[in-house]
Structure 1
Amino acid sequence: MTHDPNGAPPGGVLERLTAALGAEGSRRGPPPVERWNPDYCGEIPMRIAADGTWHYNGSPISRPALVKLFSTILRRDPDGRTVLVTPVERVGIEVEDAAFLAVELAVEGAGEARAIAFRTNLDDVVPLDDAHPLRFERDPEGGFKPYIAVRHGLWARVTRALTYDLVELCEEREEGGESWFGLAAGGRFHRIARTSELS
């Protein structure tokens, strides 16, 4: 194991972050990370793998409660860096794909009145709405990977199984003189791709 650049022993960063969270523990609701702007203290050897597992110093973090705790102080800064932030410390971590995975889907209604909500692997419940839009990226095989905005600039990648469920709800529409394949939900039509790109 390597030592912290500030001289703390291995695990010291995690202990400091946990202690800072403990000081905020009496606060109800999620920590107000959008209001915390301490100095940036550099990167720590923490990584969120593409499969959603969290690693520290090359080893998976085996305590789910600790991962959930750290996820509450995660945000994406305007410079694109993903950080863990407390009132006194801000440290960068590596994210291979997305900070979260969307692992469960609930659907009610039809058309633009359809309500869709996702549950992440860390138990955030996220409605599909203007504050939590979908975005789509091409995968190496030429398909599309959907992501849902969660909070503080962070996204959840929708699992392959849920992607198939979403595709079942999709339709083609004419918009702006073009034919689009997309999903009606949350009061609007979420464009995925031009129909011509799918043929």
Structure 2
Amino acid sequence: MIDTRATLDLPASLSEIAQAVAAQKLPPVESWHPERTGDSEMRIARDGTWFHQDAPIPRPEMVRLFSTILRREADGRHVLVTPAEKLDILVEDAAFIAVALQSEGEREGRRLGFTLNTGDPVIAGPEHGISLRDGAPYLHVRGGLEARIARPVYYELADIAIAEGGDPPGVWSEGVYFPLMDAA
């Protein structure tokens, strides 16, 4: 497994994450519908490692570049898309991993900022929900793409939930309450 945390320049504060979100400019992949299609011979492993022809992609800059042209299709497939071509990519679990958390405020006034393994910032809220699937926590990133919340980050969320005593246990961000337990 490639330790992408060691190669990322993680934001030091939630205000830096918010600034990065506001400055983020991604290609308009949702508007690209090329006729040329194929297989990228790439996959994203469950641990977030990107592979090409079964060899890890060692350069974080390349992974970051590819992540900007990643799209999830209506049928659930993941593709890398440019104006010229659309190539399938196998995603074993989620396209991203949320590797760091910044928290600001309390209860309904809390904001939770996440940093993904690609360096991308995401602030949980109405457009970026936290959900559970088979007991594992996920964060909506964009256009159906998700980040699995890394275990240490989930423990940080659980500590917040326990301290605030919500029923069911959960966390607030941007005015939205996100339960951290599956409904019984």
Question: Which bin holds the TM-score, normalised by the shorter protein?
Answer: 0.7 to 0.9
Q: Which residue of 1 is the match for residue 6 of structure 2?
A: none
Larger Rg: 1
- Name the CA distance, whole Å, in 1 between partners of 2:106 and 2:36: 46
Aligned mates of 2:88, 2:80 — CA distance in 1 = 6
Residue of structure 2 aligned with 1:185, choices 143, 148, 173:
173
- State the partner residue of 2:29: 33
Structure 2 unaligned regions, length at least 5: 1-23
Contact 2:80/2:86 (8 A) holds in 1: yes
Contact 2:99 2:153 (8 Å CA) reproduced: yes
1:152 aligned residue: 143
Matching residue of 2:166: 172
1:36 partner letter: W
Q: Sort the Cα spacing of 1:106 and 1:41 in 2 relative to 1 into closer, same or farther, 3 A.
A: same
2:87 is equivalent to residue 87 of structure 1: no
Distance in 2 between residues matched to 1:111 and 1:62, nearest whole Å: 40
Distance 1:82 1:73 in 2: 10
Partner of 2:58: 62
Tell me whether 37-46 or 78-87 shows the greater mean CA deviation: 37-46
Q: CA deviation at 1:183?
A: 1.7
Q: TM-score, normalised by structure 2?
A: 0.80
- Which residue is equivalent to 2:16? none
Distance in 1, Cα, partners of 2:182 & 2:131:
14
Give unpaired runs (5+ residues) of structure 1. 1-27, 139-143, 174-179
Give the root-mean-square deviation of aligned CA atoms: 1.6
Structure 1 residue 42: deviation in Å?
2.8
- Structure 1 residue 117 and structure 2 residue 113: aligned? yes
Q: SS state of the match for residue 172, structure 1? A: coil
TM-score, structure 1 normalization: 0.75
